């Protein structure tokens, strides 16, 4: 390797869940990298498989188990030389423990990265959480927020239904004014309940955050994951 190239460990992105969220994450990974030329960026391999069964349906409606798809994806990434594994999909984290167990790869959780980002600058009394029915049902985000010493506040039942409709709209390629206005309304609803920080715990919602006009602090898990990924990729520690 030329002496002026900054070394990095190979990052494997297990994506396709959904495609827009994967592309959005890679764009953020590039943007978050301190770079003045191509050679300053980290090495990345992307496996994007949009045929992975619906994660929320698998968790809540006994739908098809996505584990075999995930195992194939991780195997392909490791064959490409991935030393760090990231997954820009929140809900799928329910399945990842068994998939990466006994594999020689460092895993960076998007959930842990988001919660760390939410509490690192201040100590909010509560954190609002926008996430899929599936990930909320697992309690992974709520547990991580509670472990950080903070209370998690969730949308009302009706707002949660609206949120799921927005998520599936984004998966269908709809990211227009209607979807953005609906997302802004959900954030405002949490703000009115006294929340000063909201985690957009679904990568489809993260896609809608651009130019969201609100005084509430929004944590984008994809951005938090990108920042942490760059730090770890540039680290010589395994």
pLDDT tens string for the chain (238 positions)? 555 677 789 999 999 998 988 998 999 999 999 999 999 999 999 999 999 999 888 888 889 999 999 999 999 999 999 999 999 998 899 999 999 999 999 999 999 999 999 998 666 678 999 998 988 999 999 999 999 999 999 999 999 999 999 999 988 989 899 999 999 999 999 999 989 899 999 888 887 876 677 788 899 999 999 999 999 999 864 4
CA dihedral 97→102→108→112, nearest 10 degrees, is 40
pLDDT at 4: 67
pLDDT at 123: 62
> Is 11-110+224-234 assigned to CATH 3.40.50.1860?
yes
Tell me the pTM.
Answer: 0.88
Tokens describing residue 24: 């959005």
CATH topology (fold) of 112-220: Rossmann fold (3.40.50)
Instruction: Give catalytic residues, as residue numbers.
Output: 89, 202
pLDDT at 209: 73
Tell me if 11-110+224-234 shares its fold with 112-220.
Answer: yes
Element (H, E) at 72: helix 67-79
pLDDT at 214: 78
Residue-range domain boundaries for the chain? 11-110+224-234, 112-220
Question: Which phi-psi region, left, alpha or beta, contains residue 64 (left: φ > 0; alpha: ψ -120 to 50)?
Answer: beta
């Amino acid at each position: 390797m030329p002496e002026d190239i900054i070394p990095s460990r190979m990052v494997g992105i297990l994506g396709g869940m959904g495609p827009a969220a994967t592309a959005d994450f890679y764009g953020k990974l590039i943007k978050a990298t301190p770079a003045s030329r191509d050679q300053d960026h980290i090495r990345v391999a992307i496996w994007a498989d949009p045929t992975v069964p619906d994660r929320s349906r698998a968790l809540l409606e006994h739908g098809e188990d996505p584990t075999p798809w995930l195992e194939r994806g991780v195997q392909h990434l490791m064959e490409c030389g991935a030393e760090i594994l990231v997954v820009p999909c929140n809900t799928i984290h329910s399945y990842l423990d068994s998939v990466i167990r006994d594999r020689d790869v460092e895993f960076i959780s998007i959930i842990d990265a988001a919660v760390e980002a939410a509490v690192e600058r201040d100590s909010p009394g509560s954190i609002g959480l926008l996430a899929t029915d599936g990930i909320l049902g697992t309690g992974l985000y709520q547990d991580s927020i509670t472990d950080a010493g903070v209370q998690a506040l969730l949308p009302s039942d009706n707002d949660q239904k609206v949120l799921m409709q927005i998520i599936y709209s984004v998966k269908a390629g709809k990211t227009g004014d209607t979807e953005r206005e609906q997302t802004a309304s959900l954030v405002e609803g949490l703000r009115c309940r006294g929340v000063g920080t909201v985690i957009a715990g679904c990568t489809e919602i993260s896609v809608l955050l651009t130019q969201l006009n609100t005084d509430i602090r929004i944590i984008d898990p994809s951005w938090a994951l990108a920042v942490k990924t760059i730090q770890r990729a540039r680290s010589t520690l395994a």
